[in-house]
Amino acid sequence: MEFRDLKKQYQVLKERIDKAVIEVMTDCNFISGRQVNNLEEKLASYVGMKHCISCGNGTDALTMMLMAWNIGPRDAVFVPDFTFFATGEVVSFEGATPVFVDVDPDTFNMDPKSLERAVLAVKAEGKLTPRVVIPVDLFGLPADYDCINEIAHRYDMKVLEDAAQGFGGMYKGRRAGSLGDAATTSFFPAKPLGCYGDGGAIFTNKDREAEYLRSIALHGKGSFKYDNVRIGWNSRLDTIQAAILLVKLDAFTEHELEDVNKVASWYTEALKDKVKTPVIPKGCYSSWAQYTVQVKREEERTNLQQKLKEQGIPTMVYYPKPMHEQTAYKNMKQYVPCPVTERLCETVLSLPLDGFKQPDLPIIVEQIHLSL
């Protein structure tokens, strides 16, 4: 059994993907081919933003947007404590200070109340300037953007939506990727919309930001290739990956997003009496990057994982350690406590899930019922 069956996904889409890749190989237009522009236009239209700028990966996307906003030393950037390291890492990479914020126990997303407490603590100290909030659409579910945007803008901050796990999700009629002042996503293979390598994208409605981002992605290019007007770097989405993503985007919108929601609903109905199942607030729609349940104690999770493993059922823990406890940040000041994050790191467990093949779902559910 696969945790996320990319092999089956490829088998289903093989004919279309092979044709798309062979076309790139035949044209020998491997860098900045027409498929890249086609993909950017389709993604911008799907998300509902004016510009989509593709790049090498989701981490680059976050970093480039912080560069566009001139984030640097003595700036505070607020990130959820319960998420992958990259969301905090990019802040440090720009010389700014990540401020870790607790999350909601039901949605796993940034807690607006904890956010405001952190902002007030930073302002009271007076050493850092609050500049940006980076909510993460964790496990496919968009954060509470009405509250987060209101708090951020009240304190003169921008909101950078990290939609790496949230692509395809919706919040009150708007798609993930359109919920902040700008947004980023990742095309890592296991994401809701993933390629067969690395890739990422940035979404913005501002022309000047888009122009700057395209320049940064190509060595600070100006009006033509050999007039570089700023110091940039090299972060481009390969044409082959764009061709693959065009095929996968069609499948994603045609059936995969709907199918994975059906599987998640089935899981919830079958497991709701045994574990704490994911909560989808009214007006929200998840793209289910992961299906993550909560048990009562870490020991219970360890035993359940082991029993499922014995039956050939893979599981994952996202995430086993809060950001503020990771070695790179162990000496950094924590402005607000994050007890929910600490508890989640001991009790969450993600189960196998995808929209292409789930014949083993009854087996997974049966084993969980037998084990708890």
Check residue 364 and give its pLDDT: 87
| Mean pLDDT over each residue of the chain, to the nearest integer | 96
| Chain segment 39-71, per-residue pLDDT in tens | 999 999 999 999 999 999 999 999 999 999 999
| Chain segment 180-189, per-residue pLDDT in tens | 999 999 999 9
The Cα angle at residue 204 between residues 21 and 170, in degrees rounded to 5: 80
Q: Choose among 104, 54, 57, 112: nearest CA to 83.
A: 104
Q: Do domains 6-101+108-248 and 255-371 have the same CATH topology?
A: no
Check residue 359 and give its pLDDT: 56
CA distances from residue 233 to 130, 213, 218, 223 in whole angstroms, order as listed:
27, 11, 6, 16
* Residues 78-100, mean pLDDT to the nearest whole number: 98
| Chain segment 235-288, per-residue pLDDT in tens | 999 999 999 999 999 999 999 999 999 999 999 999 999 999 999 999 999 999
Query: Would you place residue 106 in the very low, low, confident or very high pLDDT band (cuts 50, 70, 90)?
Result: very high
CB of 77 closer than 8 Å to CB of 91: yes
6-101+108-248 CATH pick, 3.40.640.10, 3.10.105.10, 3.40.50.2020, 3.30.1360.20: 3.40.640.10
Check residue 356 and give its pLDDT: 62
Q: Choose among 198, 260, 238: nearest CA to 9.
A: 260
* Interatomic CA distance for residues 4 and 253, integer angstroms: 18
Q: Residue ranges per domain, the chain?
A: 6-101+108-248, 255-371
Q: Is the confidence at residue 357, as pLDDT, over 90?
A: no
Q: Choose among 334, 313, 311, 309: nearest CA to 322.
A: 334
Check residue 291 and give its pLDDT: 97
Give the distance from CA 55 to its chain's centroid.
Answer: 15
Tokens describing residue 302: 């360890």
Fold of 255-371: Aspartate Aminotransferase, domain 1 (3.90.1150)
Check residue 5 and give its pLDDT: 86
* Interatomic CA distance for residues 182 and 229, integer angstroms: 24
Query: Would you place residue 79 in the very low, low, confident or very high pLDDT band (cuts 50, 70, 90)?
Result: very high
% residues pLDDT > 90 (the chain)? 91
Check residue 225 and give its pLDDT: 80
Q: Choose among 174, 199, 206: nearest CA to 184.
A: 199
| Chain segment 218-229, per-residue pLDDT in tens | 999 998 888 999
